[in-house]
Structure 1
Amino acid sequence: MKSSLLQNIARVVLGLFLTFAGIGHLTFQRHEFLAQVPRWLPGDPAFMDIVVLASGVVEIALGLAMIFLTKYQAKVGIALCIFFVLVFPGNISQYTNEINGFGLDTDRKRLIRLFFQPVLILWALWSTGAISWLLNCKKATTPQQQRT
């Protein structure tokens, strides 16, 4: 599936953002990311740290895949969309439990942050051509109506 120049730029920018964020999970922003570990998960600090580290590794892998796996970009976009959906409860937890992190130190800021997750999901799907790919898959699998 052919992507436009704007889609390619958006895909690479999102890939760079994810790679940088993933590195942050593993290093300089590790403590900040603890704020986004849902409070319904076990509260053991070691477990929470493993969640942060694991999600960082996944972000790096997805970020690099966004940049370099152009042959599979639609599938990578879908995988990234699923990842964004899976981490969204962490954002909700940060809001509902009033946990400060990443400068989100008020309920208003934490609430506004929640509205960016759908933007990230659409960015992943659009920039990789996954929306068009999914629509084409649906058309290809829809049975043709027989004429009588």
Structure 2
Amino acid sequence: MNIPESFTRRVFRWLLAIFYLIAGIAHIRSPSGFLAITPDWVPFAEFVILFTGVAEFAGAIGLMVPPKIAPGVRHAAGIGLALYALCVYPANINHAINNIAIGGETASWLYHGPRLAFQPVFIWWALIAGGVINWPFQPKNS
């Protein structure tokens, strides 16, 4: 599917790429906070955290690759980042339910509630930024 990129979609794509680039660097440089919230059932947690950082970084770069240079890369990055956001949701739930301290500080539900509620928005955002879906930006005639 080749959805034309509007100014709004371009802004969404750039913002998401910047967010995931920063998050990827944080996962790689400072994994301890991410390890703390990773559920116990996740095997090889240190590797998983490193891999998630690399995935975020790769997804951010993928969103910026022009379709004329590498067709399908932006689309794949959007799907990959949407799946990534879905897969890290258990860590966010674990963080909230078990009130896990990071850096000696716990967060209130004023932090956890919006974070958990926003996760589906991140999934949608990745799909919009990657040109995978068009909702709610369909042309008025469709």
Structure 2 residue identity aligned to 1:23? I
Matched-pair contact (CA < 8 Å) for 1:16–1:64: no
For 1:48, the equivalent position in structure 2 comes to 45
Matched-pair contact (CA < 8 Å) for 1:77–1:128: yes
For 1:98, the equivalent position in structure 2 comes to 99
Q: Could you report, residue by residue, the CA deviation over 1:4-43 in whole angstroms, capped at 9, with x for unpaired residues?
A: 011012102111110111011111x32222233123225x
Residue 108 of structure 1 and its aligned partner are, at CA, apart by 4.1
Confirm whether residue 22 of structure 1 aligns to residue 14 of structure 2. no
Alpha-carbon separation, structure 2, partners of 1:40 and 1:23: 25
What pairs up with 1:76-87 in 2 under 5 angstroms? 76-87=77-88
Residue 80 of structure 1 and its aligned partner are, at CA, apart by 1.3
Alpha-carbon separation, structure 1, partners of 2:66 and 2:41: 35
Greater mean alpha carbon deviation, residues 99-108 or residues 76-85: 99-108
Alpha carbons of structure 1 residues 22 and 59: separation in structure 2 relative to 1, 3 Å: same
Alignment length (residue pairs): 128
- Residue 120 of structure 2, aligned match among 118, 121, 131: 118
Q: Which ranges in structure 1 are unaligned for 5 or more consecutive residues?
A: 134-148
For 2:59, the equivalent position in structure 1 comes to 62
Matched-pair contact (CA < 8 Å) for 1:11–1:66: yes
Residue 132 of structure 1 and its aligned partner are, at CA, apart by 3.5
TM-score, with length taken from structure 1: 0.75
Residue 56 of structure 1 and its aligned partner are, at CA, apart by 0.6
Structure 1 residue identity aligned to 2:45? M
Q: Which ranges in structure 2 are unaligned for 5 or more consecutive residues?
A: 136-142
Residue 53 of structure 1 and its aligned partner are, at CA, apart by 1.1
Q: Which has the larger radius of gyration?
A: 1
TM-score, with length taken from structure 2: 0.78
Report the structure, 1 or 2, having the larger helix content: 1
For 1:136, the equivalent position in structure 2 comes to none
Matched-pair contact (CA < 8 Å) for 1:100–1:106: no
Q: Percent identity?
A: 34
Matched-pair contact (CA < 8 Å) for 1:8–1:128: no
RMSD: 2.2
Alpha-carbon separation, structure 1, partners of 2:25 and 2:12: 20
